[in-house]
Structure 1
Amino acid sequence: MFTGIVQGIATVTQLERHENFMRLTLELPVAHCNNLQTGASIAVNGTCLTITGFENQQVHFDLIMETLRVTNLGELKPGENVNFERAARFGDEIGGHLLSGHIHSQITLRSKETPTDNCILWFDVMPEFIKYILPKGFVALNGCSLTVGEVSDSGFNVYLIPETLTVTTFGEIQPGDKINLEIDSQTQAVVDTIERYMKHNQPA
């Protein structure tokens, strides 16, 4: 379980690619390397990954075909940065919203506007997911819990504060980049329940 409060930026130091499989090594900031354990979970760009080994700041993960298909992790290159969040613990403050780390899809950054002390990002979203994205609702983008701004038939935007740009990779992204999307599970449950109810209660 994760909160969507990105703890920082990690750097890709090594990639070992095979057919439908990839071994990923990240360098974590030293302040976030305490009590690492093989088998523990870390969200990388919002994707829940299991630690398979570690040495000092170097942390290893195995990515299988479904992870490579659904997320943007398969496109990573050595030297690139990713958002990370270590798994939440009982007693932690939940400053964002509860996340599973199970990515629903990738979406594309349509545009990026940077007025003074602000950043506005517009994303294109496929029709099957836009119904779950509501104004002032929540989404997780590359693991960052964000409040939805405006919503159109084909996309939505978010407004970012300078702190978010500093501690995440959103300060680096450019139009055309693919971003991992996890929709809010409670919103999805409500929308799907209403759709099933309406479908089964239509007049004959």
Structure 2
Amino acid sequence: MFTGIIQAKVKIKHIVKQTGLWQFAMEFGDELRENLNHGASVAHNGVCLTVAKQDQQAVYFDVMQETLAVTNLADCCAGDVVNIERALKFGDELGGHVLSGHVHATATLVSRVANESNSTLRFECDAGWMKYILPKGFISIDGASLTLGKVGTNWFEVYLIPETRVLTTLDEKAVGSRYNIEIDSQTQAIVDTVERVLAAKNIS
């Protein structure tokens, strides 16, 4: 599990691409490597990946074809920077909201309005996910826990404070870029439950 509080922005050292499997070599610093064991879970742009191996040069993560098909990790190249969060440990402060690291879809950045102190990002995503995206609700974007602002038919906005702009890559990508989104599990459960109840009433 994760909290959506990004711990570091980390550069991709290199990517080895094989059929159906890519391996990311990540330039983790000493702090991120502390007590990092083989098999540990680490979120990359909100995607839960498992430590495959590590050496003095890098920490390595395997990315399967299904993950590449659903997330923006398929857009990454050597030298790109991604948001990193290590798995939540018992006793850690839950500063954001609970995340699984299982990305539901990607959203496309369609506009950015920024000034010296903050920025507003507007995204478009598949209309099928919009029923779970509600004003003042939670969403994870590239692994960062954010509160939703305005919501339209197929778009939504989030607002970035200075701290978020500095500590994440959210405000560094060009318009047209894809971002990973994980919707709030509690919101999804409530919406799906209400839909089932209403459908059952209509049938009866």
Which of the five TM-score ranges fits, normalised by the shorter chain? Answer: over 0.9
CA distance in 2, matches of 1:203, 1:69: 37
Equivalence for 1:145: 145
Q: Secondary structure at the match of 1:35?
A: coil
Q: Secondary structure at the match of 1:202?
A: helix
Alpha-carbon deviations, 1:125-171, whole Å to 9, x = none?
A: 11110100010000000000000000001110000011111111113
Equivalence for 2:98: 98
CA contact (8 A) 1:5 1:85 kept: yes
Residue 19 (structure 1) shift:
1.7
CA distance in 1, matches of 2:32, 2:203: 57
Spell out the pairing of 1:37-76 with structure 2 (5 A cutoff).
Answer: 37-56=37-56, 58-76=58-76
CA distance in 1, matches of 2:179, 2:203: 41
Question: Identical aligned pairs, as a percentage?
Answer: 46
CA contact (8 A) 1:140 1:181 kept: yes
Amino acid at match of 2:23: R
Q: Secondary structure at the match of 1:201?
A: helix
Q: Secondary structure at the match of 1:92?
A: coil
Equivalence for 2:3: 3
CA distance in 2, matches of 1:32, 1:17: 25
Amino acid at match of 1:88: L
Equivalence for 1:179: 179
Gaps of 5+ in 2: none
CA distance in 1, matches of 2:168, 2:116: 19
Spell out the pairing of 1:1-204 with structure 2 (5 A cutoff).
Answer: 1-56=1-56, 58-202=58-202
Gaps of 5+ in 1: none
49-58 or 151-160, larger mean C-alpha shift = 49-58
**Dislocated runs of 4+, deviation >4 Å:** none
**Structure-2 change in CA distance of 1:203 and 1:55 (3 Å):** closer
Q: Secondary structure at the match of 1:131?
A: helix
Residue 31 (structure 1) shift:
2.0
CA distance in 2, matches of 1:147, 1:28: 28
Residue 65 (structure 1) shift:
1.0
